[in-house]
Amino acid sequence: MEPQRVLVAMSGGVDSSVAAALIQESGHDVVGVTLRLWGGESDSGCCSVSDVDDARRVADCLGIDHHVFNMGEDFDRHVVEPYVADHAAGRTPNPCIECNRHIKFDRLMRRARSLGFDRLATGHHARVVDMPDGSRRIARASDPAKDQSYVLHMLDQDVLARLDLPVGEMSKDEVRARAAGLGLRTADKPDSQDVCFITGASRGDAGRREFLGRRIPLTSGRVVDGSGAEVGRVEAVEMVTLGQRRGMELAGGDGPRYATAVDTATATVTVGSAADLLVDATPVDRAVWADGPVDGSVLVQTSAHGEPVAAVLVSGAVHWEAPHRRVAPGQSVVFYDGDVVLGGALAC
Amino acid sequence: MRAKRRARVPRSLRGVEEQLNRQVYLDHAASTPARSEVVEAMLPWLGEHPGNPSGSHRMARDARRAIDDARDAVAALVGMDPGGVVFTSGGTEADNLAVDGVLGDGSGVAVCCAAEHAAVLEPVRESGGVVLPADAGGRIDLGALAETLESVADIRLVSVMAANNETGVVNPVAEVVSLVSERAPDALVHCDAVQATAWLDLADACRGARLVSITGHKFGGPKGAGALVVDGDVPLSPMLRGGGQERERRSGTQNVPAIVGLGRAAELVVVDRGETAVRVAAMRDRLETGLLAAVPGASRTVPDGVGRTPAVAHLCFEGIESEALLFLLEQEGICASAASSCSSGAQDPSHVLAAMGIERSVAAGSLRLSLARATTDADVDRALSVIPGIVERLSAYA
């Protein structure tokens, strides 16, 4: 194989460290890059200075060049601002997906091409597979517990043709063992879990509320039941996700109750039983496809680590084979054929 | 593993033997190479002479003599008394000490312009001081300064850089000094001369300033040694407390080898500064003129007629991103910069260009090629031969 120039996106975590090592071992000309996406308010996420240091020192250890690209303005525009606006509108955004869509696999891929790189590699746990017709698809990772195909569903042929996901065939344990074998300092580094740009995201709702509260007015609201009777209050309507059970102060009632509607305009959350959440179909929009639109029977996953369930896709809606819990508006709905990603869309 | 690491050789140069080691360094405003005489002067103080200048025995006294010789050289460079020289770890510490040391207990107001170096800007901001606008050349707005000196009470310090680190633009220090002496005679003027030392006679360029900051590595000295030079009885509260070195103004064992290097660089720079400035200005002009002619959409960042040192060719390339430009320049063996780098190494938008009123979209494509004594015509030729092609490539992807 002719050696190619490969840009490896290195977050400072163990997966992308090993990704860089594997590409280098296969004889390619590797350069590492870490994206600086957020301007210092967070020191926990994928763009903190200590993570840049980890990526740089791993690159030093491998003997490859390492650069830092500041894509903070684009990240703000395409990820942070929409995240805030979605919450303000009572939607449930997935910022990692928007970052992949707009930053890592658009902005960075274009940057890589302009700099003369043949390919881009990341440390995502997913595989890029070749189809019989020569096209490519994202497929689930070999390690199902770490599978990230859901957050990569937006990649099209143009991107897939130039993308490598070297750790997609490895279990997390294998990745860590490989990193340890190479003496990489990131071998035991914990996985990142939270929204990278929110300080204190590990504190869950409290961190998120603080972040949103600095950017939008948070409205306390009424919680009503199906008949419209007030059954409680909620501190911030903008923080409530459809299907959410906890965090609402509810008086009385039998059995668990879930948010079945969030109306930020009137600051009202409607609650009901689990059965009230069940629907036969979920309308979607902003569909993206790996290689053209698909209709018919598919498997559908509605959250990063959710179970895929059978459904039929018919013009802009997912018709569930069995009644399915409503999907919060703004959540990504990803379509699979077996382990292979066909595309995805946003729940309306 | 380690053995694998070597200087990256751009593909276009591979196999061309004589060009393999060709690195063109056009980032002298970030740091200059230490002159060979400087390195030579420093070496004995790293090994043979271990004395601590605060001690009393012979070896300690040797070290004391060495830094006091350097003190004399720095004082002569700035045109002040040796007793006013406070050695610091560099320009940032000198600037911080000027602002915080003069404000002391926290009362009193510090004033500076928005185009100052962060080492001045941050302490001024943190102290609740006044940050004045810049004119289109990035110089302190004298009208705004005059107004502030009239309207704000208890101004203790006005800080103005002799030459800007990003653009090389020279500030009207003499006008600042005379405005302050007319309107706020109790205030002191501090002049950050870090980027001016290699080019200007500081006694002249900073005349009237009671505090002057310099650092060694911007004019052929080593990193890690700078000085705040204060005139007469300017009271200075120390930031570092301990053994009372530097006349109680900066505690901590002096960095003897680096201070010796700083002193040697100070002696050397005054000898050939004038000749160097003429030669480098000609190269800078050839570089700018050549790029402006060869690259569509290129513009000079500093307006015509604004005085500047010969240090910097500063251009903006429309529709290009500095980061991509710098990456490809490096692939071709040219090391340069755009604005300042943050601690992660990422390029941050330039606060200097913003203060000059340059649109963010234009500033995003800025390039700072900074020259110095070590720069050669071959360096300029190389930059002129590769930059147009790189900009053309990036324009095609924009």
The DSSP result for B66-102, as a single string, is HHHHHHHHHHHHHTS-GGGEEEESSHHHHHHHHHHHH
- Count of all residues that appear for chain B in the document: 398
Name the residue facing B345 among A52, A61, A111 (closest C-beta): A52
Q: State pLDDT tens for residues A317-343.
A: 999 999 999 999 999 999 999 999 999
Q: Which two tokens stand for residue B308?
A: 């500047």
Domain with CATH 3.40.50.620 in chain A: 5-181
> B345–A113: do the CB atoms touch at under 8 Å?
no
Radius of gyration over every alpha carbon of chain A, rounded to an integer in angstroms: 21
pLDDT at B232: 87
Nearest-angstrom CA–CA distance, B255 and B46:
10
* H or E element, residue A230: strand A230-234
CATH 2.30.30 correct for A218-272:
yes
Query: Who's near B72: CB < 8 A, 6+ residues apart?
Result: B82, B263
Query: Would you say B342 and B189 are in contact if contact means Cβ atoms under 8 Å apart?
Result: no
Q: Please say whether the beta carbons of A81 and A87 come within 8 A.
A: no
In which residue are the tokens 């006008």 written?
B175
Query: What does the alpha-carbon distance between residue A292 and residue B189 come to, in Å, rounded to a whole number?
Result: 68
Tokens coding A333: 């709905």
- Rounded Cα distance, B225 and B229, in Å: 13
Q: How far is A3 from chain B (nearest CA, A)?
A: 12
Q: What is the pLDDT of residues B193-218, one digit of tens each?
A: 999 999 999 999 999 999 999 999 99
Residue extent(s) of CATH 2.40.30.10 domains in chain A: 278-347
- A116 CA to chain B: closest CA distance, Å? 9
- A250: helix, strand or coil: strand
Cβ–Cβ gap B323/A69 under 8 Å? yes
Which CATH fold would you assign to the domain B14-35+274-397? Aspartate Aminotransferase, domain 1 (3.90.1150)
Q: Considering only the top CATH level, what class is A5-181?
A: alpha beta
Q: What is the mean pLDDT of chain B?
A: 93
pLDDT level of residue A44 (50, 70, 90 thresholds): very low
Q: So which residues of A are the catalytic ones? A: 99, 196
When pLDDT is averaged across residues A59-83 and rounded to a whole number, the result is: 94
Burial class (CB in 10 A: 0-12, 13-18, 19+), B271: exposed
Contact (Cβ atoms closer than 8 angstroms) between residue B120 and residue B129 = no
Contact B5 A63 (CB under 8 A): yes
Q: What mean pLDDT comes out for the span B117-125?
A: 97
- A110 CB neighbours in chain B (<8 A) are 397
- CA B49, CA B39: separation in Å to the nearest integer? 15
- Tell me the chain B residues in contact with residue A21 when contact means C-beta distances shorter than 8 Å: none
pLDDT tens column, A99-158:
999 999 999 999 999 999 999 999 999 999 999 999 999 999 999 999 999 999 999 999
Distance of residue A212 Cα from the nearest chain B Cα, in angstroms: 25
> What is the residue whose two structure tokens read 């604004």?
B306
Highest mean pLDDT among A29-43, A283-297, B327-341: A283-297
Burial-class residue A174 by CB neighbours within 10 Å (0-12, 13-18, 19+).
Answer: middle
- As a whole number of angstroms, the distance between CA B44 and CA B295 comes to 49
Question: Does residue B290 register a pLDDT over 70?
Answer: yes
Query: What's the gap in Å between the CA of A45 and the closest CA on chain B?
Result: 14
* pLDDT recorded at residue A249: 62
- Distance, in Å, from the CA atom of B214 to the CA atom of B87, rounded to the nearest integer, reads 10
Residues B33-89: tens digit of each pLDDT: 999 999 999 999 999 999 999 999 999 999 999 999 999 999 999 999 999 999 999
What does the pLDDT read at residue A202? 62
User: Pick from B231, B259, B265, B233: which is nearest to B245 by CA?
Assistant: B259
To the nearest whole percent, how much of chain B has pLDDT over 90? Answer: 89
CA–CA separation, A71 and A77 (whole Å): 10
Helix (H, G, I), strand (E, B) or coil at B212: strand
Note the pLDDT of residue A195: 81
Q: Are B311 and B26 in contact (CB under 8 A)?
A: no
Distance, in Å, from the CA atom of B22 to the CA atom of B334, rounded to the nearest integer, reads 9
> B269-278, long-range: CB within 8 Å, 24+ apart, which pairs?
B269/B77, B269/B197, B269/B198, B269/B219, B269/B220, B270/B76, B270/B77, B270/B201, B272/B373, B273/B198, B273/B199, B273/B200, B273/B201, B276/B198, B276/B199, B276/B372, B276/B373, B277/B199, B277/B309, B277/B310
Average pLDDT for residues B382-393, to the nearest whole number? 97
* Cβ proximity of B228 and B86 under 8 Å: yes
Nearest 5°: the CA angle A225, A228, A229 is 75
- What is the pTM (predicted TM-score) of this model? 0.90
CA distance B393 to B387: 10
CB atoms within 10 A of CB B1: 10
Angle at B112 between CA B111 and CA B117, to 5 degrees: 145
pLDDT at A46 over 50: no
Residues of B with CB under 8 A from a CB of A: 1-2, 4-5, 8, 321, 323-324, 327-328, 331, 342-348, 393-394, 397-398
Average pLDDT over residues B127-132: 97
Give the confidence band of B186 by pLDDT, cuts at 50, 70, 90.
very high
Of B344, B393, B398, which has the smallest distance from its Cβ to A49's Cβ? B344
Domain ranges in chain B are 14-35+274-397, 37-269
Q: How high is the pLDDT of residue B20?
A: 45
Looking at per-residue pLDDT, the higher value among B268 and A247 belongs to: B268
Q: Is there a contact between A147 and A141 (Cβ–Cβ < 8 Å)? A: yes
In sequence order, the 6+-apart residues with CB closer than 8 A to the CB of A178 are A18, A21, A22, A170
How close A71 comes to chain B (CA, Å)? 9
B344–A36 CB contact, under 8 Å:
yes
Q: Determine the average pLDDT of the residues in B274-298.
A: 97
The predicted pLDDT at position B26 comes to: 97
Alpha carbon distance A120, A33 (integer Å): 10
User: Between A14-25 and A49-62, two packed helices, what is the crossing angle to 10 degrees?
Assistant: 20
Residues of A with Cβ-Cβ distance to B343 under 8 angstroms: 49
Flag if A63 and B4 touch (Cβ within 8 Å).
yes
For domain A278-347, which CATH number applies: 2.40.30.10, 1.10.3720.10, 3.30.70.1350, 1.10.1240.10? 2.40.30.10
Cα–Cα distances (Å) from B173 to B109, B125, B204, B304, in that order, read 19, 21, 10, 20
> Would you state the torsion angle of the CA atoms of residues B132, B134, B139, B145, taken in this order, to the nearest 10 degrees?
-30
Provide the phi-psi class of A63: left if phi over 0, else alpha when psi is between -120 and 50, else beta. Answer: left
Measured on CA atoms in the order B202, B205, B210, B212, is the torsion positive or negative?
negative
Cβ A49–B343 below 8 Å, yes or no? yes
| Cα dihedral: A208, A214, A220, A221 (round 10) | -70
Q: What residues of B are in contact with residue A183 (Cβ under 8 Å)?
A: 1
Determine what percent of chain A is predicted with pLDDT higher than 90. 78
The B312-317 sheet, strands edge to edge: B298-300, B312-317, B366-370
Q: Which residue of B lies nearest to A47 if distances are taken between CA atoms?
A: B344
What would the pLDDT profile of B292-346 be if each residue is shown by its tens digit?
999 999 999 999 999 999 999 999 999 999 999 999 999 999 999 997 666 666 7
How many residues can be counted in chain A?
A: 348
Cβ distance B324 to A114 less than 8 Å, yes or no, reads: yes
Domain covering B37-269 assigned CATH 1.10.760.10 in the classification:
no
Q: Token pair 């002619």 is at which residue?
A: B293
> How confident is the model at residue B313, as a pLDDT?
97
Put simply, the answer to whether B1 touches A183 (Cβ < 8 Å) is: yes
CA-based nearest residue in chain B for residue A183: B1
Give me the pLDDT at residue A316, please. Answer: 85
pLDDT digits (tens, 9 = 90+) for A182-229: 999 999 998 877 788 887 666 677 888 888 999 999 999 999 998 989
Predicted local confidence at residue B5, as pLDDT: 43
Structure tokens at B74: 């720095």
Measured distance CA(A301)–CA(A299) in Å, rounded: 7
Q: What is the DSSP string of B328-389?
A: HHHHTTEE-BSS-B-TTSPBPPPHHHHHTT--HHHHTTEEEEE--TT--HHHHHHHHHHHHH
Cβ atoms within 10 A of the Cβ of B76, count?
Answer: 16
Tens-place pLDDT, residues B98-109? 999 999 977 899
Annotate A16-61 with DSSP letters as a single string. Answer: HHHHHHHHHHTT-EEEEEEEE-S-SS-SSSTTSHHHHHHHHHHHHH
